[in-house]
Amino acid sequence: MQLDQPSVENMEYMLQELAEKLQVVNRSIMDAEDYNLEKYEDLKWMYDMVISKGRLSASETQAFINELASIRK
């Protein structure tokens, strides 16, 4: 998947991958419709960080979830 180009499909993919990696229970916060495409670069940065880190501590996971909440519409 080519994630360099902002698109709703790419946002959906990244959000689903983040939901899995962060073990998000409440998946409603990961709905692509709730995110503005203007925040694509922020979401991409978070996605890259989470994917590259491997295992995350509980506090890191919570920090990423909080950051996702802050960029929602």
d(CA 58, CA 4): 29
Virtual CA dihedral for 67, 55, 6, 40, nearest 10 degrees? 10
Cβ 16 vs Cβ 30: under 8 Å: yes
The model carries a pTM of 0.89
d(CA 38, CA 16): 19
Radius of gyration of the chain (CA): 11
- Return per-residue pLDDT of the chain as tens, 73 residues: 799 999 999 999 999 999 999 998 888 889 999 999 999 999 999 999 999 998 899 999 999 999 998 999 8
